[in-house]
């Protein structure tokens, strides 16, 4: 009984949180002009703010190379889980399309956002933030992981749906129970219809910006992975991230969808 009450309180007081880091940001700051750094940050913020405006239930916190996209009203809701993973995938796609590598994690739990006693400074902390930060730091790829704390409440409400989404390639489940999120959802959605001639060229104008972003995101990851392969670099930390991500995208998209995505990026199609 006590365990059930504690779980209920945790669900009622929790929030969904996406923790996202721009990779290689310190090198960017040390080697690139201020304007270029600003443009990278602005591009990332625009990706978040677009969905913040459209959704209204999530807010963004930004500092240095880190973005927190969090559920504003407290309390578990099925809608919040569906929104945070879908928005997370499309934000990552937008960043990759702009040539910005990022890595993140989605968690659910305690996350407090308050103003200090002066009313001038925002204070934020919580177990969901710590969990997502630690999980993100452990990964060796470019992508977003959905942690057990995030998906288990949804699975409890809708048994079997997590695996059903997995069969639809929304994510791949790893042996440790972590979900590897597919950032190219629109690419998979339109692939089948394109085969029936229902998607018009140029693809850059179709279902913009999400679908064109997916095409450019795949192109970015493939070209970076191939550039490291061309110099026989398969072991440096940055090369491992791109090779691992490239393989993941091949696996989650499937051979035919992956090949179509590459063709979609060609000048005559895009």
Domain ranges of the chain: 2-181, 185-264
The C-alpha torsion from 90 through 91 and 92 to 93, rounded to 10°, is: 50
Q: Which residues pair with 175 in a beta bridge?
A: none
Q: To the nearest whole number, what is the mean pLDDT of the chain?
A: 91
| Mean local confidence (pLDDT), 162-173 | 97
Nearest to 184, CA basis, from 256, 81, 253, 260: 253
State the pLDDT at residue 226: 98
For the domain covering 2-181, report its CATH number.
3.30.70.1230
The C-alpha torsion from 154 through 167 and 54 to 260, rounded to 10°, is: 170
| Mean local confidence (pLDDT), 108-118 | 90
Residue 73 has pLDDT above 90, yes or no: yes
Q: Provide, rounded to the nearest whole percent, the portion of the chain with pLDDT above 70.
A: 97
Residue 239 has pLDDT above 70, yes or no: yes
| Mean local confidence (pLDDT), 81-93 | 93
Residue 215 has pLDDT above 70, yes or no: yes
State the pLDDT at residue 156: 96
Cα 173 from Cα 53, distance rounded (Å):
31
| Mean local confidence (pLDDT), 45-59 | 83
Of residues 111 and 39, more confidence is placed in 111
Residue 245 has pLDDT above 50, yes or no: yes
Residue 2 has pLDDT above 50, yes or no: no
∠ CA(81), CA(209), CA(108), 5° rounding?
A: 15
- The CB-based long-range contact list for 118-127 (8 Å cut-off, 24+ gap) reads 122/61, 124/61, 124/68, 126/15, 126/17
Residue 234: count of CB within 10 angstroms of its CB:
12
In angstroms, the Cα distances linking 118 to 12, 61, 113, 114, 141 are 28, 19, 15, 11, 41
State the pLDDT at residue 35: 87
State the pLDDT at residue 30: 82
State the pLDDT at residue 147: 99
Cα 65 from Cα 140, distance rounded (Å):
17
């Amino acid at each position: 009984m006590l365990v059930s009450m504690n779980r209920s309180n945790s669900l009622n007081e929790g929030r969904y949180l996406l923790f996202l880091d721009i990779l290689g940001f310190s090198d960017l700051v040390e080697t690139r002009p201020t304007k270029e750094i600003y443009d990278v940050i602005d591009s990332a913020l625009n990706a978040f703010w677009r969905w913040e405006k459209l959704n209204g239930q999530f807010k963004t916190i930004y500092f240095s190379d880190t973005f927190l996209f969090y559920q504003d009203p407290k309390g578990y809701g099925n809608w919040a889980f569906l929104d945070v993973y879908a928005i997370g995938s499309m934000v990552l796609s937008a960043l990759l399309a702009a040539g910005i590598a990022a890595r993140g994690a989605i968690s659910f739990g305690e996350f407090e956002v308050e103003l200090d006693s002066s009313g001038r400074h925002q204070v934020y902390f919580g177990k969901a933030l710590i969990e997502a930060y630690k999980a993100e730091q452990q990964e060796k790829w470019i992508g977003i992981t959905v942690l057990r704390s995030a998906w288990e409440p949804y699975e409890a409400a809708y048994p079997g749906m997590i695996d059903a989404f997995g069969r639809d390639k929304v994510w791949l489940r790893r042996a440790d129970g972590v979900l590897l999120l597919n950032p190219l959802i629109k690419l998979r959605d339109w692939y089948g219809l394109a085969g029936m001639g229902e998607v018009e060229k140029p693809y850059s104008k179709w279902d913009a910006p999400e679908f064109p972003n997916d095409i450019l995101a795949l192109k970015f990851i493939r070209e970076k992975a191939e550039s490291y392969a061309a110099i026989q670099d398969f072991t440096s930390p940055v090369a491992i991230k791109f090779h691992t991500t490239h393989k993941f995208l091949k696996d989650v998209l499937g051979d035919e969808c992956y090949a179509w995505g590459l063709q979609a990026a060609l000048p005559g199609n895009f």
